[in-house]
Structure 1
C-alpha cells in the first residue's frame, strides 16, 4: 500500500525546506540492501518526516518511466499506479483542445497538466483531499501567470483556482459543472484486485454514465472490458504505448468522429503516433502465407481492427480466426518475422530442424494453440549460436509452426 500521506505532508514536501530535504534524500541509493542505513540517516536529519521523504523519492524514480517532466511531482503509490502516462494523456488532450473540460476523478493531476496546455479552462475534482493537494502542487507552472515566481503548493479546502485550472472537492457521481466535457477514470480495483466488471469500478461505470447522460463524456477504462456487451453508443478507442496496451477510452457520440465506433491508437515514446478506425476498408484476400509474418499491435487486436489494419497495409490473415497477419512486405516501423520454413507442429521434427539450423536463442510466439513457450523452449534443448523466432498458430484445424529469422 505504501506510505499514507497527509495534507500536512504535502504542505511540507512542497515547501522550500521540504524541497531541500528531498534533494538530500535523492542522493541516497535507497535499495533493499541500503534501506535500513538510508532510513536511519534521513531520520537523524529530518525526524518523523523521513518516511514521507523516502517514499516520495522512490515514487519519483518509478514515475520517470511513465510521466515526462515529473521530477518535482508528488505522488501516492496507488495514484501513481493509476496515473495516465504523459503521452497517452497528451494524445487525449489534443482531441479536446479548445474545450472547457472537467476531470471528475482528477487524482494527482496527470491528466490536468496536459489539458491545461491546450484548454482555456479546466476543472479538476476528487473526493480525496490529499490527492487534490498533490494535484495543486503538480500543476506547477499552470498555477502562475507568465513571469511570476514560484509559490507554495496549494492545499485545497474550498475551490481553489490555478492559472487556468480550478480544483475542488466533489463527488464524481454528483454533477458539479455545466457546459463542460467530462473526463473520468474509475479506479479499476475492487477488494484489492484488478477488475474487468464495469459495475465494480470506483465509481461504478453504469452509475457514472447515468450521472452524465446526454453530456459530452470521455471515460478511461481497462482495455479488457467486453465493449460489445457494454453496448456503448459512441466510440471505443484502445491506446497502446511502445507496444503495451495501456487503456481504452469511451468517447460519447458528441465527441466521436462521424462513422467511427472503434479506433486503435498506437503511440511511441519518440512521438510517433498511428491510428486506424473501423470506418476504413476491411476487405482482404484469402491467400497462402507470404514471406513475412506480422503480429499487429495489441491496440489493433483489442479494438477488433485486425482486418482493417491488414487492408490498409496490403496484408492478409494466416487464418480468419487468428490475429497474425502475413504479407510480402512489412509496414514501415513495424516488427516483422521473415519466414524461413513452415511445418506442422511436431516437437521431434521441429527439434531436428532447429538443430540443423544451429539455433540457440529462441523467441516463441503463440496464438490459438495451447503451448507454453517456456516449457517448449526447455524441451527443445537448443545449444546453437543462431537466433530464431517461432510463430506457432492454428491454420484451420492444424497446429502450424513457422520458423523465422529474428529481426
Structure 2
C-alpha cells in the first residue's frame, strides 16, 4: 500500500515550489543501495513535504514503462498499478472516436487522456477527489481538457454518452480482488446501471468471462507478448457478429486481431516441422482453432493450445522440431545429452511440471542452446526438442 496523498499534497506538487522540489529530489538516485541517505537528503531539501515528493518521483519512474510522456504526471500507487499501457489505452479509445464519452471511473486520467484525444466531447468522473485533482493536472500536462466531476459511477450524471469504466480490483490493503462482486463498483451493478447504454468495461484478463453474459463482445489484448487486459463491450461499441476477439499489439510494429466469426476448421495432426505457441491473447480468448485455421496449422491435441505445421505464421517466435518422443526425465536427459544442450528453455502445457525444478535436475552440459516443449498428446506425455526462430 503506497503513500496516502491529500488534496494539499497535490496542490503543493502542482505549485512552483512543488516543481522545484520534484526537480531537486528527482536528481537523487533513490535506489535501494542509497535509499536511506537519499531520504535524509530529500528531507533536508524539501522539509515536511519530503515523503510526498519522494513518492511522486518514484511513481513517475515506474510509470515510464506504462504511460507515455509521464515525466510530469501525478499518480497514486494504486492508480498506477491499475493503469493500462498507453498503446493499449489508445487501441481501446479508438472505438470511441468522434463520440461523446464519459469515463465514470477516471482515476488520475490515464485512460481519460486517450479518450479526450479522439472523442467529440469527454467527461471524467470519480469519487476520489484527490485522484480527480491529479487527473486535472495530468490532462493539463497532456494538453486535453475534458470536463471533470466528482460522482459515483453507479449514479449517472450524463445522458447520451457512451460510457467506459475500469472498476478497482484491489482492496484497501492493496490485495487483488478476484470476485466481480467485490470490484468497486461491482461488475453486475455497473452493467445494470448502464443497461441499454453503449458500455465498455476494462477488466483483468483472468476474469471468467461467463460471469458477464451481458457483454456483447469480449476482447483480450496483449502487448509485446504479454496479455494486458480484457474489455467487455456492449451495444454499439461491440462488433456485430463477434462474441470473442483477441488483439495482438506490438510496440512500433504491426497489430492484428482474430475473432470467433472466423473459421475454426483446424485438424488434430501429427507434429510437423514447426511448433507454434499462440499469443496469450489468442489462448485466453479461446480462439486457438480460429488462429490455426487462418494460418493452416493443426493442433497436437484437441485440448492443448500448441499448434503445428510446416510453415509458421510470419512475425512470431516459432520452434523448429529437432527430435521428439515420449517424455520422462530419463529420456529427456538422454535426448539433451545427444544434442549437447547446455542452455535450455522449457515450455510446458498440459503436464504438471515445474520448469525451474526440472532444469536443475537435468544437469545440463554442452555448447548448444535449445527449447523443449513438454505437453500431452492424447494420454501420452511428449517432449519436443526444438530450436527457436523469429519468423
Q: Which TM-score applies when normalising by structure 1?
A: 0.93
Name the structure 2 match of 1:87: 87
Matching of residue 328 in structure 1 with residue 318 in structure 2: no
> Is the contact made by 2:372 and 2:383 (CA closer than 8 Å) also made in structure 1?
yes
* RMSD across aligned positions (CA): 1.3
State which of 342, 345, 368 in structure 2 corresponds to 1:360. Answer: 342
Aligned residues: 388
Q: Distance in 1 between matches of 2:8 and 2:142?
A: 22
1:112-150 CA-to-partner distances (Å, cap 9, x unmatched) read 11111111211000000100000000012565xxxxxxx
Deviations 1:300-344 (A, max 9, x none): 011110000011111111111000111111211111010000100
- Residues 223 and 302 in structure 1, CA contact (< 8 A), matched pair in contact too: yes
Q: Does 1:222 align with 2:204?
A: yes
**Alpha carbons of 1:350 and 1:142: their partners in 2 closer, same or farther (altered >3 Å)?**
closer
Partner Cα separation in structure 2 for residue 165 and residue 337 of structure 1: 48
Question: Unaligned regions of 5+ residues in structure 2, if any?
Answer: none
2:123 alignment partner, SS class? strand
CA contact (8 A) 1:115 1:122 kept: yes
Paired residue for 2:281?
Answer: 299
1: distance between equivalents of 2:259 and 2:331? 42
Distance 1:99 1:196 in 2: 32
2:153 to 172, 195, 203: 172
1:153 maps to which residue?
Answer: none
The answer to whether the aligner puts 1:313 opposite 2:299 as a matched pair is no
For 1:7-406, list aligned pairs within 5 A. Answer: 7-141=7-141, 164-190=145-171, 192-406=174-388
- Conserved? CA contact 2:72–2:141, under 8 Å: no
Deviation at 1:364, TM superposition (A): 0.4
Counterparts of 2:27 and 2:235 in 1: how far apart (Å)? Answer: 50
Output the CA distance in 1 between the equivalents of 2:224 and 2:362.
Answer: 31
Kept in 2: contact 1:121–1:164 (CA 8 A): no
Query: What is the TM-score of this pair, normalised by structure 2?
Result: 0.97
Q: Which digits, 9 at most, give the CA deviation of each residue in 1:225-283, with x for residues without a partner? A: 11124323400000111111111100003211110000001111224311111111111
